[in-house]
Amino acid sequence: MTLDALNLMPILPEIILLVLACSILLIDVFMRAGSRDVTYWLTQVSLVVIFVAVLSGMSMDQRLSFEGSVINDGLSDVMKLAMILMTSMAFALSRSYLKDRDIHKGEYYILGLFGLLGMMIMVSAYSLLLIYLGLELMSLAMYAMVAIHRDDIRSSEAAMKYFVLGALASGLLLYGMSLLYGITGSLDIAVIRQAVLGGEIPKIALLLAMLFMLTGLVFKLGAAPFHMWLPDVYDGAPTAVTLYISAAPKIAALAILMRLFGDGLIGILADWQMLMIVFAVASLFIGNVVAIAQTSFKRMLAYSTVSHVGFILLGVLAGTADGFSAALFYVLSYGLMSLGGFGIITYLASRGIEADQLDDLKGLNDRSPWMAFILLILMFSMAGIPFTLGFWAKLAVLQAVVEIDLVWLAIYAVVMSVIGAFYYLRVLKMAYFDKPLITGMPVRSLDMRWVLNGTGIAILILGLFPAGLVALCAQVF
């Protein structure tokens, strides 16, 4: 085989992204300090370019390339499009926040683009090697982004925690992967799948490999009982970065969860299903109950992320096509809601006001009825009030769980969501019925207003007419 024989077309979007990211890096270095807006707009343009590149090559068929180590299918294409969109939205929502804190650096966008590259590699990875490399690329970019506000001690602490625990999780994942490689003799998931289904492999080694990989991945996802880092990191990082790391990376993590477990290790479904049930139950409990006690809006959203991760795991653990499409639907809607939630914080946070406490939301209706309305949509959707996007997502996941005869788990999840609804609704009570502590609204740029309003409206419309998105998610499996 020679280099000329390689078909580079399947990874064309990744190549374009890499070239554009490197060019922006160079342009940014030679730019004067005051003109970071140019970097921002260049970044948005490149995101549009790769969006088009992915869209033009989109197809629901499964296409393997690079000797079976890269996969392009409906799942990877839909996920890539969603991740590009969410990254672009995250950038739009965070520019003014960064400017107000004097950390509007070009590296925020550049690292964001490299992180996106890692995510894109992850979602079309079909070998252990690529999964790991993509994950590391994404994680490394995110560690650095969390630390971007270097003079803020909480940001540095969050970055340190994130880095150390993330490295530990990578180690666990890598250990499991090396065991899996040792017992199956291949890095390719297709081969591993056949080997596991063949049943020739000693069960105990396989289980140990699975345990390490699952622990590592769940650690990265932030499911309980490995969630301890998540609230600290989400809370300590600048909100602009929290925005970025809370949305698109979850999609990529779901992708490798599905590829590794839903595809490669489907032969031992019963074993990892049991473990995931434990993780999901713990996440739903901790996420919903601990969130009640929070006084910080940002921290509350972080705990709500833990509970949402629990729901995503519920979809994956079903191990059926319905379950996977439910999990995909859930993660897409979660991404939108999380962007909206943290987006409101960056919208309200002006110079000197962090706006990340629940008290800061008091009387939002008096300050800006429209903002309060968007908050209303978001909170209703996150709580899963009927006929909102979050409701359909939860419903799909619960259906998948009921289908595999785990009715008790579905009931438990419903009970936990009802408990969770309390703290979402408390936010609305504060916004609508309390007296404002701060008056006036910060003036925001057009792109930021559009994106935030668009997110709210999208969640509203998708909640009323979810059929299209549901059908898309069902089609890819």
Partner 1 sequence: MSFIKLLFLVFASSAVLSAFMMVTTRNTVYAALYLVLTFFSTALTWLLLEAEFLSIVLILVYVGAVMVLFLFVVMMLDVNTAATREGFVRFLPLGAGVAIIMMLEMSLVLGPKLFGLDVYPAPVPKAADYSNTEAIGSVLYTVYVYPFEIAAVILLVAMVAAIMLTLRRRPETKYQDAAAQAKVRREDRVRMVKMESETRVADIAKQGDGA
Based on the shown chain and the rule CB under 8 A, indicate whether residue 173 belongs to the binding site for partner 1: no
Nearer to partner 1, 134 or 319 (CB): 134
- Binders of partner 1 among 31-90, rule CB under 8 A? 66-67, 69-70
Q: What's the DSSP call for residue 188?
A: B
**Of the candidates 63, 105, 367, 449, which one interacts with partner 1 according to CB under 8 A?**
105
CB of 29 to partner 1, least distance (A): 10
- 168 interacts with partner 1 by CB under 8 A: no
Site string for partner 1, 190-209 (x = CB under 8 A): ------------x-xx--x-
Calpha distance 42→227 (Å, rounded)? 36
User: What is the nearest approach in angstroms of partner 1 to the Cβ of residue 167?
Assistant: 13
| DSSP symbols for 303-365 | HHHHHHHHHHHHHHHT-SHHHHHHHHHHHHHHHHHHHHHHHHHHHH--TT----BGGGGTTHH
CA distances from residue 166 to 184, 238, 345 in whole angstroms, order as listed = 26, 18, 26
**What whole-number distance in Å separates Cα of residue 231 and Cα of residue 302?**
5
**Among positions 79, 116, 179, 406, the unique one binding partner 1 when judged by CB under 8 A:** 179
Using rule CB under 8 A, residue 183 touches partner 1: yes
Minimum CB distance to partner 1 smaller for 201 or for 401: 201
125-164: contacts with partner 1 (CB under 8 A):
129-130, 133-134, 136-137, 140-141, 143-144, 147-148, 150
Q: Which residues contact 18 (CB under 8 A, 6 or more apart)?
A: 117
- SS3 assignment, position 64: strand
- # binding residues, partner 1 (CB under 8 A): 40
Cβ closer to partner 1: 133 or 438? 133
End-to-end CA distance of the chain: 33
Q: Which is nearer to partner 1, 120 or 406 (CB)?
A: 120
Q: Are strands 63-65 and 70-72 parallel, antiparallel or unpaired?
A: antiparallel
> Of the two residues 187 and 406, which places its CB atom closer to partner 1 in the complex?
187
Separation CA 118–CA 249 (nearest Å): 9
Tell me which residues in 371-430 interact with partner 1 (CB under 8 A): none
2 versus 295: smaller Cβ distance to partner 1: 2
In the complex, least distance from residue 117 CB atom to partner 1, rounded to whole angstroms: 7
| Residue 116 vs 361, nearer CB to partner 1 | 116
- Residue 369 binding partner 1, by CB under 8 A: no
Cβ of residue 445: shortest distance to partner 1, in angstroms? 24
- Please write down the long-range contacts of 147-154, taking CB distance under 8 Å and 24 or more positions apart: 148/103, 148/105, 148/107, 148/108, 148/238, 148/241, 149/101, 149/103, 149/238, 152/238, 154/235, 154/236
Tokens 């070998």 belong to residue: 127
**Spatial distance between the Cα atoms of 257 and 251, rounded to a whole number of angstroms:** 10
Indicate the residue type of 415: V
Contact call for residue 117 and partner 1 (CB under 8 A) = yes
CB of 64 within 8 A of CB of 16? no
List interacting residues with partner 1 (CB under 8 A). Answer: 1-3, 5-6, 11, 18, 22, 25, 66-67, 69-70, 105, 107, 110-111, 114, 117, 121, 129-130, 133-134, 136-137, 140-141, 143-144, 147-148, 150, 179, 182-183, 202, 204-205, 208
